[in-house]
Amino acid sequence: MKQVVLISTGGTIASVSDHAGGPVNAALAGERLLDSLHQKPDGIAVRVEDFPARGSYALDLATIHALCARITETLADAAVAGVVVTHGTDTMEESAFLADLLVRSDKPVIFTGAQRHAGVADTDGPRNLGDAITCAASDALTGVGPVILFEGELHAARDVTKVHASRVDTFRSPGFGKLGDVDEGRVHIGRRPGARVTLSTPTLDPDVEIIAPGLGTTPRLLDHCGASGVSGVVIAGFGRGNAPMGFADAAKRLIDKGIPVIVATRCAEGRTMAVYGKDSGATTLVEAGCLLAGELSPYKARLLLAALLGQGATREEIAAAFARFA
């Protein structure tokens, strides 16, 4: 019999309301989640561990760094086939991506949760959890890296994003598509994920900020970052990685201080590329010293930079890591 470890971190799947119409909070332990299954997968033994239970909007980098270390430690046990992490959907894609960067094992790591809390009759948590346990015990997911399992679909951590605030089919991989699915207890894999980077870092630098400019936004926030002690900045740029007027000069002022500036695209599909010039097109930003995030979203680019800075990476090492996603 295969053994799977369920690590419960809270989130909607573990949340209930204190009273009718009241706020919803994470309150259920992992054993309660396991008891909620309508049908437990055959031939799989599940061991439960509870991690700090809270909504994923309230998690921080130090907590997820510790979670990734715990996943690695758990998977080092030869008796464990895989790990399931129940997690809130708000930042699940970010935690899954950090696990993709930091967990040093080829065994399956499955993140799942719910959009409808445990106190409602049609909660989607039990089905997702049952499917995730099946996937964590599947040899088909060996070497794929951490994934998100939702509504029967499997999505790669580097590609997936939450696309709807409340619907149960919220997770998609724009431009890439799902890795596969689980159907009546059988796991089907249709593709493998793209480039991955695995890091070993003692800490995640919490002082990397994201700036998301809009039409005509001034670069004053970049200057504020330079004056307030940030370690790095990610710009959620337009299109191929362009920004409003003045951003290239402001970014150069940061870079001259030794603060790396990464330019991602705010678009759901496609990648950054130095095509446009003039004031703060991507070409001008690169000439100023910015690095392009390629296919990574601004949020995942921030996490990669936080991990690289946490291990003391040089500018050349940072550039090489982001080049993997070009």
Encode pLDDT of 155-194 as tens digits: 999 999 999 999 999 999 999 999 999 998 999 999 999 8
pLDDT, the chain, mean = 93
Residue 19 has pLDDT above 90, yes or no: no
> Where are the CATH 3.40.50.1170 domain residues in the chain?
2-189
d(CA 236, CA 193): 23
> Is 90 part of any known ligand binding site?
yes
Instruction: Give the length of the chain.
Output: 326
Taking residues 46-61, report their average pLDDT.
88
> Where are the CATH 3.40.50.40 domain residues in the chain?
208-323
The helix (run of H) or strand (run of E) holding residue 135 is: helix 125-136
Residue 18 has pLDDT above 70, yes or no: no
Catalytic residue list contains 9: no
Closest of 190, 186, 196, 163 to residue 177, by C-alpha: 190
Residue 23 has pLDDT above 90, yes or no: no
Residue 316 has pLDDT above 60, yes or no: yes
pLDDT band at 123 (very low <50, low <70, confident <90, very high): confident
- The CATH superfamily of 2-189 is L-asparaginase, N-terminal domain (3.40.50.1170)
One-character DSSP codes across 69-100? HHHHHHHTSTTEEEEEEE--SSSHHHHHHHHH
Among 12, 91, 134, 170, which one carries the catalytic annotation?
12
Amino acid at 209: E
Residue 324 has pLDDT above 90, yes or no: yes
| Predicted pLDDT at 21 | 56
Q: Which range in 40-44, 74-78, 112-116 is most confidently predicted, on average pLDDT?
A: 74-78
Between the alpha carbon of residue 56 and those of residues 18, 114, 120, 133, 244, the distances in Å are 19, 12, 20, 21, 32
Question: In this predicted model, what pLDDT tens digit does every residue of 229-287 receive, in sequence order?
Answer: 999 999 999 999 999 999 999 999 999 999 999 999 999 999 999 999 989 999 999 99
Structure tokens at 27: 């309150």
Among 74, 89, 112, 201, which one carries the catalytic annotation?
89
Closest of 4, 84, 86 to residue 43, by C-alpha: 4
User: Does domain 208-323 correspond to CATH entry 3.40.50.40?
Assistant: yes
Catalytic residue list contains 89: yes
| Predicted pLDDT at 216 | 95
pLDDT band at 33 (very low <50, low <70, confident <90, very high): confident
d(CA 95, CA 66): 11
Q: Which residues pair with 264 in a beta bridge?
A: 236
